[in-house]
A = this chain, B = another copy of it.
Amino acid sequence: MAAANIKEVARHAGVSVGTVSNVLNRPDTVAPATRQRVLDAITELGYVRNDSARQLRAGQSRTIAIVVLDVANPFFTDVVRGAEQVVEEAGAMLIVCNSGEDSARERRHLELLEEQRVRGVLITPVHHGSQPNLEKLIDRGIPVVLVDRGSGRASRCSVAVDDVLGGRLAMDHLLDQGHRRIAYLGGPFSIAQVAERHAGAAAALDERGDGAELRVATTTNLTVAAGRRAAENLLALPSRQRPTAVFCANDLIALGVLQEVTTRGMRVPADVAIVGYDDIEFAGAAAVPLSSVRQPREQLGRTAAQLLLEEDESGETHRHRHVVFQPELVVRRSSDHTR
């Protein structure tokens, strides 16, 4: 069956195209009898609106995009679910794009999204600095909301969790536990979260000033495998230099470290204590339940989507907002042997 268009429907129902369009978009402006005839024709022909034509005419699509660093990271999947709720309530559609922490892919996605004239973009950018393609979207008047990045920039809204505070919480806890040789694992530092969590940890350590030291081991990305590799190097150190505690930039890294440590027959937390970040669902179910810094993930997504819709509706009068949530430390056995 060839795809029927509005014209055929009109012919079939013995009305004009305009009327069919009205039935579709403002049903109450057309007489009941006519409306029914049109609806019958629609079902009979199996007519389905052509969204391209619609969008072309409207100049804008009804889809909102979210560009995340990693679709397979439970942190982002939860953010996506939160955003989804809000977007669907608003009758729009959310499409998920995966930059994979690769800024070339991110650029490609943004280009395509601009071509598609999406209604708005939620994004956790790969790099902190300004992204030309992102600026271009904004110039074009497409609302952009930064997710999980507290930008003070005036040109866009943002939602974020205070990563510096999160780093502090983790570090204070480890210091309280008596650790003095501590490592921070994560990377690349071009990812703002990685840098800020570190900054918080470093600041907390400085303020204590009790001679504890913080060693940094940079990873190439934030996956379980990367965590394992980083742990290998750390554990190879002579025991006098080896850190007694590790603070990881996210839970995937932390799980990798945990795997490597136990594989080598060392004990957590006795030999090495571990604190992760994100408190993903699997953290509590890990071999040794993982201490982690919890973030309100779904709420992050919901709020981001709300800000976006708000901006889209209010247009010129919109004032950009920056919402910052507070993280919370969840202590489990991986950093506290009394549990």
A210 within 8 A of B: no
A276 to B: closest C-beta gap in Å:
12
CA distance A286 to B281 in the complex (A): 11
A265 to B: closest C-beta gap in Å:
15
Interface string of A285-301 (1 = CB under 8 A from B): 11111000000000000
Residues A1 and B56 in contact, CB atoms below 8 Å apart: no
A71 within 8 A of B: yes
* Residues on the B chain within 8 Å of A117, using CB: 50-52
Copy number of this protein in the oligomer?
A: 2
Interface string of A108-127 (1 = CB under 8 A from B): 00011011110000000000
* Residues on the B chain within 8 Å of A74, using CB: 72, 74
* Residues on the B chain within 8 Å of A49, using CB: 115
Interface string of A85-97 (1 = CB under 8 A from B): 0000000010111
Segment of A76-84, A173-181, A232-240, A242-250 engaged in the interface with chain B? A76-84
A222 to B: closest C-beta gap in Å:
13
A140 within 8 A of B: yes
Residues A77 and B81 in contact, CB atoms below 8 Å apart: no
A258 within 8 A of B: yes
Interface string of A138-173 (1 = CB under 8 A from B): 011000000000000000000000000000000000
A266 within 8 A of B: no
Residues A286 and B284 in contact, CB atoms below 8 Å apart: no
Q: Which listed residue, B50, B96, B111, B285, touches A255 by the CB 8 Å rule?
A: B285
* Residues on the B chain within 8 Å of A1, using CB: 139-140
Residues B259 and A50 in contact, CB atoms below 8 Å apart: no
A55 within 8 A of B: yes
Residues A52 and B61 in contact, CB atoms below 8 Å apart: yes
* Residues on the B chain within 8 Å of A56, using CB: 50, 52-53, 56
A98 within 8 A of B: yes
CA distance A287 to B3 in the complex (A): 55
A142 to B: closest C-beta gap in Å:
10
A128 within 8 A of B: no
* Residues on the B chain within 8 Å of A284, using CB: 259
Given contacts A3-B140, A74-B72, A84-B98, contact A51 B116 (CB under 8 A): yes
The 6 tightest CB contacts between A and B, nearest first, are: A52-B55, A72-B77, A52-B56, A51-B115, A282-B282, A95-B95
Interface residues of A (CB under 8 A from B): 1, 3, 46, 48-56, 61, 71-72, 74, 77-78, 80-81, 84, 93, 95-98, 111-112, 114-117, 136, 139-140, 224, 255, 258-259, 281-282, 284-289
Beyond known contacts A48-B114, A74-B74: 7 more, CB 8 A cutoff: A52-B56, A71-B77, A95-B96, A255-B285, A259-B284, A259-B285, A282-B285
A–B complex contacts, Cβ < 8 Å, 13 sampled:
A1-B139, A1-B140, A46-B136, A48-B111, A48-B114, A48-B115, A49-B115, A50-B115, A80-B98, A95-B95, A255-B285, A285-B287, A287-B288
